[in-house]
């Protein structure tokens, strides 16, 4: 069977011939450029600069030679523009990092060092305006710089928080069609990140791609606004979800059912020990709009919908199902209440667990290769029963994870599958 057929079996909760493996199909299942270069070198692949596919988190593009070498089953389709506001596609240029790695970055990737030596990034590469992100000299990725104007509650305008959400262009539709056909031709499962459906994803709130963001752009103000300015946030989500469906209608007319999974939302609802909000607040503020988008997709396409939420979200799993999501990621197995066996037995008939294959906080970066192997085998045994499990780590693989631990993870997947 092809990777695509195996993924479709998995998503339909039928036991596939083997566990499907994803690394790098979207912004929450990826691998840092440093770890990616180490992995390419281990497998003896051509030595060339890794291409940055997501500069905010400094994720690398997992290319076909590595996909074939380690058995990746899912091809990701990334958007034209990235979170920092410029086109992500060629032409590319070379860039050398703090840690000495030479990378390929988009042409508009523009940075300056501040007085502390930290690296500043500018919206759309425009250095004439204030920076919107910073990579500390001791870090491996960027942090958003908040640019919150004084908030006048008597004059809040919903359109200010919708500036980055706009009707899709014919140029973008042509891009998605071309990239979908390329991905479809590989025989792998296809994951698309169309965008425009974030509904409060905190990585998007600061508007790093915007030259002068308006509205609620502070992370703390946004979280408070979900309670203090509830009606305002409702209006944002209402218009955003309407526009999302308008765009998805046009996208579907262009790409059809040639994708298998659509990344819908990366809004986190969990901390390490609890949830960010009460279940009743989720029901009030997010449920209607998630359901609106999911219902349209399920009524008009064969796509499966992908929801990302870190943290202790066991109490929200039933709500994710009721909202119409087919897939949950990253399955943070070391957070409170996120026992793998309980999750699989309780929710596994309805949700596909895309992630949870190995803990990335302690096991993958800190334990021995043998401990990594043992954990991967145990979790594949639990999650892999009766389909509904795509192997991925608990969120992205970070820069300093020992390459032999990543290799031990890959070898353990192969061991389980054989």
The predicted pLDDT at position 368 comes to 98
375: left (phi over 0), alpha (psi -120 to 50) or beta: alpha
Residue 197 in domain: yes
Residue 299 in domain: yes
Residue 372 in domain: yes
DSSP string across 4-56 = HHHHHHHHTT---SS-EE-SSSSTTS-BBHHHHHHHHHHTT----PEEEEETT
Give the pLDDT means over successive 10-residue stretches in the chain (418 positions): 97 97 98 98 98 98 98 97 94 97 96 96 94 97 96 96 96 98 98 97 96 96 97 98 98 98 97 95 98 98 98 98 98 98 98 98 98 98 97 98 98 97
Residues 6+ apart with CB under 8 A from 384: 19, 416
Strand 304-308, strand 327-329: pairing: parallel
Domain hosting residue 257, numbered range: 3-90+148-417
Residue 24 in domain: yes
| Chain center to CA of 153 | 32
Residue 341 in domain: yes
pLDDT digits (tens, 9 = 90+) for 294-304: 999 999 999 99
CATH code of residue 43:
3.20.20.210
The predicted pLDDT at position 11 comes to 98
How many Å apart are CA 262 and CA 191, to the nearest integer?
6
C-alpha distances in Å from residue 69, one per residue of 39, 40, 53, 106, 368:
10, 9, 20, 26, 23
Per the structure, the count of domains in the chain is: 1
Residue 119 in domain: no
Query: Residue holding tokens 């092809």?
Result: 2
CA angle 271, 275, 281 (to 5 degrees): 145
Residues 6+ apart with CB under 8 A from 82: 54, 55, 56, 88, 106, 209
Residue 374 in domain: yes
pLDDT digits (tens, 9 = 90+) for 98-116: 999 999 999 999 999 999 9
Query: Residue holding tokens 């979908």?
Result: 180
Residue 323 in domain: yes
pTM greater than 0.95: yes
């Amino acid at each position: 069977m092809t990777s695509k057929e195996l993924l479709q079996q998995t998503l339909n909760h039928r036991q596939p011939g083997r566990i499907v493996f994803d690394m790098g199909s979207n912004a929450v299942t990826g691998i840092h450029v440093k770890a990616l270069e180490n992995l390419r070198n281990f497998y003896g692949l051509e030595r060339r600069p890794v291409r940055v596919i997501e500069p905010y988190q400094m994720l690398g593009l997992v290319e076909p030679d590595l996909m074939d070498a380690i058995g990746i089953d899912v091809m990701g389709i990334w958007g034209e523009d990235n979170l920092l506001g410029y086109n992500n596609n060629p032409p590319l240029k070379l860039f050398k990092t703090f840690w000495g790695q030479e990378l390929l970055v988009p042409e508009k990737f523009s940075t300056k060092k501040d007085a502390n030596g930290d690296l500043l990034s500018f919206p759309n590469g425009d250095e004439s305006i204030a920076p919107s992100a910073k990579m500390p000299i001791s870090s491996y990725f960027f942090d958003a710089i908040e640019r919150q104007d004084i908030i006048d509650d008597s004059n809040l305008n919903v359109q200010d928080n919708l500036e980055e959400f706009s009707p899709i262009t014919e140029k973008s539709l042509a891009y998605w069609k071309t990239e979908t056909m390329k991905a479809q031709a590989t025989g792998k499962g296809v994951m698309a990140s169309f965008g425009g459906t974030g509904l409060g994803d905190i990585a998007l709130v600061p508007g790093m791609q915007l030259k002068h963001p308006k509205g609620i752009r502070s992370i703390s103000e946004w979280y408070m606004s979900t309670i203090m300015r509830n009606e305002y946030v409702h209006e944002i989500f209402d218009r955003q979800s309407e526009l999302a469906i308008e765009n998805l209608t046009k996208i579907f007319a262009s790409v059809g059912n040639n994708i298998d999974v659509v990344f819908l939302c990366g809004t986190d609802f969990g901390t390490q020990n609890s949830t960010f909000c009460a279940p009743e607040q989720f029901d009030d503020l997010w449920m209607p709009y998630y359901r609106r988008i999911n219902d349209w997709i399920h009524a008009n396409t064969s796509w499966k919908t992908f929801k990302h939420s870190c943290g202790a979200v066991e109490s929200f799993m039933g709500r994710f199902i009721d909202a119409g999501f087919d897939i949950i990621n990253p399955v943070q197995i070391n957070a409170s209440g996120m026992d793998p066996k309980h999750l699989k037995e309780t929710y596994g008939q309805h949700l596909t667990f895309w992630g949870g294959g190995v803990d990335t906080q302690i096991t993958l970066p800190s334990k021995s290769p043998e401990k990594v192997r043992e954990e991967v085998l145990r979790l594949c045994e639990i999650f892999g029963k009766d389909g509904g499990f795509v192997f991925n780590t608990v969120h992205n693989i970070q820069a300093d994870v020992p390459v032999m631990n990543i290799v031990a993870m890959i070898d353990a997947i192969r061991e389980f599958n054989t």
